[in-house]
């Protein structure tokens, strides 16, 4: 039985023409051999397994060949070529800098450079992984590298060029080796399979090439592993099983389900993937690569960027036609965030599931919510007076919004009024039903829409008083104060102190981030109605006063808009020294309001609310 040799060694290139994927570099080296214009030092750099050391050996053999061919290749017939092939040449030295990285090793190497070659023209020193040399070793190497003897040529090889000293780089001709493309790797693997008599599927070779990530040595090692597992017949299914690679069809299926907003099906598919032993983080990374490929397939100009077979390119093009560009951008952003947070997450599976749920909701309309699909957006507690819906539902009397004008505000024969009045007077009715009926009765008169966005601080008595004074058309609880659908806009509204304070606080909460500091100070101020509609604000600090003066016009315009009064004016004054100002906390403000307005406490107890 012959000794087994792995494919990476058995099919290692022996000439420039057999080197895969480095045509430009090999052509340059062959031309240097033909012309005899050789540099004293070369640096070969690039990723692992792309042919750096192989090209260094071929080049060293060619420059010492006594009868090189017209193309610049070694003849393989002269004594120098035979000695090299039989590994007995004294003109070519290989040094592993990973284990020989001290100053002493470099000094020993320098001693060897003094002896001229016995056969051939040059002594060639190949130093692999040169970036592993210590700084002292690099410094000891500098002078010899810059001015070596005429018969010495250095060939340095490294995978990490950035770790080499600039003084070393400046003394070398630098050759950057390229990563192997999928097409080049597949073609080379086909040749190896043919020589070995192994049946292969091209799709299986593509999986091997993608797994190798641009390294031919890695690709040949994986090929040997797959050939051993498949016993002479390498198929796609056996390869993904042996290499534990997720089938690409799963990625296509996930995107199809996400575009259709089928969250449950996405969760089931993810569960199957994880149960088959695949890591959630690897799945997200694979899905991100898939979405990137779909994005590249959107445009014919970027289609060549796909390193895959023509069959897979067609599948990407088909899916690209059914997916929106915005969906692909959003999906990539979400998966990138998931990848960044994956290592720090204590519940990695939940993070992946949430990411896929968000991806499956990208194309879902904003108004849809519930069913575990679109997360609801939480709104402010009293925005648009959502409490009235609960009270009306508890009373069970109002089925639709009622539009009431001033002409029927006191119509006691209105059906809803009579029904709710009976409910409110019924001794057997529950407290919640009574409160709801009372609120429903009030909804049939001119109840204004409250302008409460971010706080608590209004009086129901004041609201009722406003309702009797104004004859305006209102859709209860449905229109905001500045809603364009409102049929009548009040421009001379008589606002109360409570409304002024409420809109002042709301304005402070809406101020931009750049004004957060002044907004925080303004929240502790108490605006007062001095001479209606003139508003007076006292400031206890000269610096704050100067800052507020710069935005005074914006403050006035905001109050005019939200208090519906175009005649509002504002004056800012500095508090006199010694004038006491008590600043109340949110809790103290609420307790004071609750003491002055018992109806607020009843509402709080009825709806089981807590002050945030």
485, part of any domain = no
In the chain, the number of structural domains is: 5
Tokens of 574: 């500095």
Q: What is the mean pLDDT of residues 432-442?
A: 44
CATH number at residue 134: 3.40.50.300
How high is the pLDDT of residue 405?
Answer: 34
If DSSP states are collapsed to H, E and C, what string results for 436-498? HHHHHHHHCCCCCCCCCCCCCCCCHHHHHHHHHHCCCCECCCCCCCCCCCCCCCCCECCCCHH
- Select from 155, 156, 240, 170 the least CA-distant residue to 205: 240
- Select from 425, 469, 431 the least CA-distant residue to 447: 469
Q: Quick one: 136 and 205 in the same domain? A: no
311, part of any domain = yes
* pLDDT of 605 higher than 60: yes
What's the Cα-to-Cα distance from 590 to each of 388, 461, 527, 578, 597, rounded to whole Å?
A: 21, 17, 17, 27, 10
Confidence of residue 490 (pLDDT cuts 50, 70, 90): low
CATH number at residue 310: 1.20.272.10
Task: Check residues 478 and 197 and name the one with the higher pLDDT.
Answer: 197
pLDDT digits (tens, 9 = 90+) for 21-79: 888 999 999 999 888 888 999 999 998 888 899 999 999 989 988 888 888 888 888 88
3-state secondary structure (DSSP) of residue 302:
coil
Q: Quick one: 40 and 150 in the same domain? A: yes
How high is the pLDDT of residue 1?
Answer: 46
- Checking DSSP bridges between strand 123-128 and strand 92-96, what pairing results, if any? parallel
pLDDT digits (tens, 9 = 90+) for 369-390: 443 444 433 333 333 344 444 4
Q: Please tell me the distance from the alpha carbon of residue 72 to that of residue 68, in angstroms, as a whole number.
A: 6
Q: Give the end of a domain, one of 227, 242, 257.
A: 242
64, part of any domain = yes
pLDDT digits (tens, 9 = 90+) for 245-287: 888 888 999 999 999 888 999 999 999 988 888 888 889 999 9
Q: Quick one: 290 and 235 in the same domain? A: no
Task: Check residues 611 and 474 and name the one with the higher pLDDT.
Answer: 611
Q: Give the end of a domain, one of 469, 486, 513.
A: 469
pLDDT digits (tens, 9 = 90+) for 214-252: 888 889 999 998 888 888 788 888 888 888 888 888 899
60, part of any domain = yes
Domain of residue 172 covers: 7-176
552, part of any domain = yes
How many degrees, rounded to 5, is the angle at CA 61 between CA 139 and CA 105? Answer: 25
CATH number at residue 213: 1.10.8.60
**Residue linked to tokens 């023209």:** 121
**Residue linked to tokens 């389900």:** 257
Q: Quick one: 253 and 236 in the same domain? A: no
Q: Quick one: 230 and 107 in the same domain? A: no
Q: Quick one: 346 and 452 in the same domain? A: no
Q: What is the mean pLDDT of residues 460-488?
A: 41
136, part of any domain = yes
Q: Quick one: 522 and 562 in the same domain? A: yes
Q: Quick one: 354 and 206 in the same domain? A: no
What's the Cα-to-Cα distance from 479 to each of 385, 441, 450, 484, rounded to whole Å?
A: 10, 19, 9, 9
Q: Quick one: 152 and 47 in the same domain? A: yes
Q: Quick one: 64 and 159 in the same domain? A: yes
Q: Quick one: 336 and 461 in the same domain? A: no
Quick check: pTM over 0.85?
no
452, part of any domain = yes
Q: What is the mean pLDDT of residues 179-195?
A: 88
Q: Quick one: 74 and 165 in the same domain? A: yes
**DSSP readout, 394-430?**
HHT---S---B-GGGTT-TT-HHHHHHHHHHH-TTS-
607, part of any domain = no
């Amino acid at each position: 039985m012959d000794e087994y040799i792995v494919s990476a060694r058995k099919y290692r290139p022996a000439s420039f023409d057999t080197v895969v994927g480095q045509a430009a570099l090999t052509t340059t080296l062959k031309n240097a051999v033909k012309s005899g214009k050789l540099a004293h030092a070369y640096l070969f750099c690039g990723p692992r397994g792309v042919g750096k050391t192989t090209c260094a050996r071929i080049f060293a053999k060619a420059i010492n060949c006594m009868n090189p061919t017209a193309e610049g290749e070694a003849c393989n017939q002269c004594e120098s070529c035979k000695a090299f092939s039989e590994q007995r040449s004294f003109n070519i030295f290989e040094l592993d800098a990973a284990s020989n990285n001290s100053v002493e090793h470099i000094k020993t190497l320098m001693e060897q450079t003094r002896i001229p070659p016995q056969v051939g023209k040059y002594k060639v020193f190949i130093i692999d992984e040169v970036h592993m040399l210590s700084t002292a070793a690099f410094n000891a190497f500098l002078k010899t590298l810059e001015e070596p003897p005429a018969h010495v040529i250095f060939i340095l090889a490294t995978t990490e060029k950035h770790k080499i000293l600039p003084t070393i780089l400046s003394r070398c001709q630098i050759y950057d080796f390229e990563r192997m493309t999928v097409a080049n790797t597949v073609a080379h693997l086909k040749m190896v399979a043919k020589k070995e008599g192994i049946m292969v599927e091209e799709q299986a070779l593509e999986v091997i090439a993608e797994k190798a990530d641009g390294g031919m040595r890695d690709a040949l090692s994986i090929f040997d592993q797959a050939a051993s597992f498949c016993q002479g017949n390498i198929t796609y299914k056996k390869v993904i099983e042996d290499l534990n690679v997720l089938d690409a069809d799963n990625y296509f299926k996930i995107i199809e389900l996400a575009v259709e907003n089928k969250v449950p099906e996405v969760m089931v598919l993810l569960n199957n993937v994880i149960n088959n032993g695949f890591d959630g983080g690897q799945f997200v990374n694979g899905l991100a690569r898939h979405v990137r490929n779909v994005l590249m397939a959107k445009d014919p100009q970027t289609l060549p960027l796909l390193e895959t077979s023509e069959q897979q390119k067609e599948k990407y093009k088909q899916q690209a036609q059914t997916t929106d560009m915005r969906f692909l951008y959003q999906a990539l952003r979400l998966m990138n965030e998931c990848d960044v947070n994956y290592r720090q997450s204590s519940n990695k599976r939940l993070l992946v599931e949430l990411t896929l749920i968000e991806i499956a909701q990208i194309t879902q309309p904003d108004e849809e919510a519930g069913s575990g699909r679109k997360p609801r957006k939480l709104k402010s507690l009293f925005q648009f007076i959502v409490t009235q819906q609960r009270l009306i539902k508890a009373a069970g009397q109002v089925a639709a919004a009622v539009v009431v004008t001033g002409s029927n505000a006191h119509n006691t024969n209105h059906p809803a009024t009579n029904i709710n009045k009976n409910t409110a007077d019924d001794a057997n009715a529950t407290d919640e039903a009574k409160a709801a009926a009372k609120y429903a009765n009030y909804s049939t008169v001119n109840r204004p829409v409250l302008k409460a966005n971010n706080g608590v601080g209004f009086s129901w008595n004041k609201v009722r008083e406003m309702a009797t004074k104004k004859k305006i058309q209102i859709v209860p609880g449905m229109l905001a104060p500045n809603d364009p659908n409102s049929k009548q806009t009040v421009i001379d509204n008589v606002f109360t102190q409570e409304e002024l304070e409420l809109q002042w606080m709301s304005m402070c909460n809406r101020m931009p981030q750049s004004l957060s500091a002044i907004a925080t100070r303004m929240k502790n101020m108490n605006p007062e109605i001095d001479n209606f509609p003139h508003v007076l604000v006292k400031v206890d600090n000269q610096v704050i006063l100067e800052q507020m003066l710069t935005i005074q016009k914006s403050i006035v315009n905001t109050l005019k808009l939200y208090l519906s009064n175009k005649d509002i004016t504002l004056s800012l004054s500095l508090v006199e020294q010694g004038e006491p100002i008590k600043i109340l906390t949110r809790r103290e403000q609420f307790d004071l309001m609750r003491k002055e307005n018992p109806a607020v406490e009843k509402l709080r107890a009825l709806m089981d609310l807590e002050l945030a």
